[in-house]
Structure 1
Amino acid sequence: MKSVFARLASDFLSTIVFLIVYVVTDNVILATSVAIAGAIAQVIYARVRSTSLGYMTYASLALVIVLGTATILTEDPRFVLAKPSIAHFAIGAIMLKRGWMLRYMPPRVTEVIPEYVTAAGYVWAALMFALGAGTIAVAMTGDLKLWAFYVSVVAVGAKIAAFALQYLIFRVIITSRLRAAARA
């Protein structure tokens, strides 16, 4: 679990740095420049350590540079604020693959309710698309405090709530099916 959070922090480091520098200085150019430099430094550091970098790392770097440059040229932070939505859309598109969740489920779940797991995968994809659209809508307001709240509380909270709801639903369905099988 610790490695998952470390990976998430690493993936969103440039966004976190941007937000902190912008809140402290109220200077979008400085915040964006520091975020771009941080993303580049992060990749260089990984290369020096001979850490293999995945496609998502390079895609994230490209997004930071392209959207950051647009932000610097226009002095409008909405370009950088929209970056998390692209990640949500990409993940949502990957989640449209039928049965993607099956490999992440315990054997009991895949044996008893595989059809529900497949359906839940599509629900997760819809959630990612909704969160991505929400991120863009909030970014378009240009309100950094609202954006920070949405990205850190609403988006994360929605994923935690979805996970908890999925767990409860799966547990109830599995228990019900196992009891019915035992009676038969």
Structure 2
Amino acid sequence: MRNLLYAIGPMIFDSLGVIVFAVLLGVGAGIVPATIAGTAVAVAVVGHELVRGRPVAALQWISLAMVIFSAAATMLTGDPRFVMAKPSVVYLIVGAAMLRRGWLNRYIPPEQVGLVGDVMDRFGYVWAAMMFFTAAANLVIAVAFTAWWPLFVGVFPLASKAALFAVHFTVVQWIGQARLRRRAGEPQPAAAE
């Protein structure tokens, strides 16, 4: 349970602005109120990190940029097709950022990086693939099924992330435990005399 809380807390915190934006859209709050609320939350998250003197994580900056870009696009164009297609660009950017090895290591205790760091790297690529898939799905829904877009953007991105997180967390825990059991069963090298 401790590892789950260690992983899920920062992940939710890092994406809080986008989560607020998506949830509000999903419940029908409208694009303008959703972008204003998402922007306020994303600014608060980044501000919180800066005030505490901690480095701001890449996903926190991306979350802030995403909601600010949404707000600007909404206010400047008023064109719903632009606003609906915009998440595809953001998901592509996020997916590209997730192709960097080691980006997931901040979501596990430092002492576990040696144990499951390679698994975290592989899941980093799985997360990137999901972002690329979400970008494509968003574009298809925005263009071909416009009436369904608010429901899609309010449900699918969060649901797919929650599902992948559950799989990711379970697999990493299982592999970590298996590796620890295997290490415990290995004979220890004799101490030098």
TM-score by length of 2: 0.65
How far off is 1:126 after superposition?
A: 0.9
Q: Does residue 139 of structure 2 align to residue 136 of structure 1? A: yes
How far off is 1:77 after superposition?
A: 2.1
1:65 to 69, 72, 79: 72
Unmatched runs of 5 consecutive residues or more in structure 2: 1-8, 51-59, 187-193
Q: Does residue 100 of structure 2 align to residue 93 of structure 1? A: no
- How big is each residue's C-alpha offset from its partner over 1:126-176, in whole Å with a ceiling of 9 and x where there is no partner? 1111111111111112523x2122212221111001010011111111111
Could you say which residue in structure 1 is the equivalent of 2:3?
Answer: none
How far off is 1:99 after superposition?
A: 1.4
Does the CA-based 8 Å contact 2:116-2:176 persist in structure 1?
yes
1:111 to 84, 109, 114: 114
Unmatched runs of 5 consecutive residues or more in structure 1: 22-30
**What one-letter code is carried by the residue in structure 1 that aligns with 2:115?**
V
SS in 2 for 1:12: helix
Distance 1:61 1:164 in 2: 29
Does the CA-based 8 Å contact 2:85-2:138 persist in structure 1?
yes
Identity rate of aligned residues, in percent?
A: 28
SS in 1 for 2:29: helix
Distance 2:101 2:14 in 1: 27
Distance 2:165 2:152 in 1: 18
Change (3 A) 1:11 1:85: farther
**What one-letter code is carried by the residue in structure 2 that aligns with 1:181?**
R
Q: Does residue 17 of structure 2 align to residue 8 of structure 1? A: yes
TM-score by length of 1: 0.68
Change (3 A) 1:138 1:68: farther
**What one-letter code is carried by the residue in structure 1 that aligns with 2:17?**
L
SS in 2 for 1:79: helix
Does the CA-based 8 Å contact 1:92-1:128 persist in structure 2?
yes
Q: What pairs with 1:1-184 in structure 2 (closer than 5 Å)? A: 1=9, 4=13, 7-8=16-17, 12=21, 16=25, 20-21=29-30, 38=36, 56=62, 57=64, 60-66=67-73, 69-70=76-77, 72=78, 77-144=80-147, 146-184=148-186
Distance 1:135 1:58 in 2: 18
Distance 1:6 1:131 in 2: 16
Q: Does 1 or 2 have the higher relative contact order (CA < 8 Å, sep 6+)?
A: 2
Aligned length: 163
Does the CA-based 8 Å contact 1:64-1:83 persist in structure 2?
no
Of 1-10 and 124-133, the range deviating more from structure 2: 1-10
SS in 1 for 2:181: helix
Root-mean-square deviation (CA), in Å?
3.8
How far off is 1:80 after superposition?
A: 1.1
